[in-house]
Amino acid sequence: MKTVLATLVLFAAVLHTVLSCPMCEGEGLKCHTCVANNLDECFRQGSTVCPAHSDACSTITGPNSVMKSCAYKSFCDKSHMSNGEMKLECCFNELKP
């Protein structure tokens, strides 16, 4: 469990660094952004407007862990994964209010 959560936190940090570079700012999709133990806690953490080049919202779920962030369609296309413990889902539409 600690390994899954540590992996999710590291992934979130990398995505945050890549997607928040000063030259990359723009208007893109609005996605929930969080690392939490469950969906309710995740939704309370809010959402953000993604950089213009980010064209997907991703959700990675595992045992007692959820991570939502801005992503790329190419990442989602190549990373369709579900192995029982972890699952990746992507959406390509604007976040509903």
pTM for the full predicted model: 0.67
How far is the C-alpha of 80 from the C-alpha of 78, rounded, in Å? 6
CB 69 within 8 A of CB 33: yes
How far is the C-alpha of 34 from the C-alpha of 65, rounded, in Å? 10
Structure confidence by residue, pLDDT tens digits, 32-58: 999 999 999 999 999 999 998 899 999
Structure confidence by residue, pLDDT tens digits, 51-66: 988 999 999 999 999 9
Return the CATH number of 28-91, one of 1.20.5.510, 2.10.60.10, 2.40.50.140, 3.30.70.2190: 2.10.60.10
Domain locations in the chain as residue ranges:
28-91
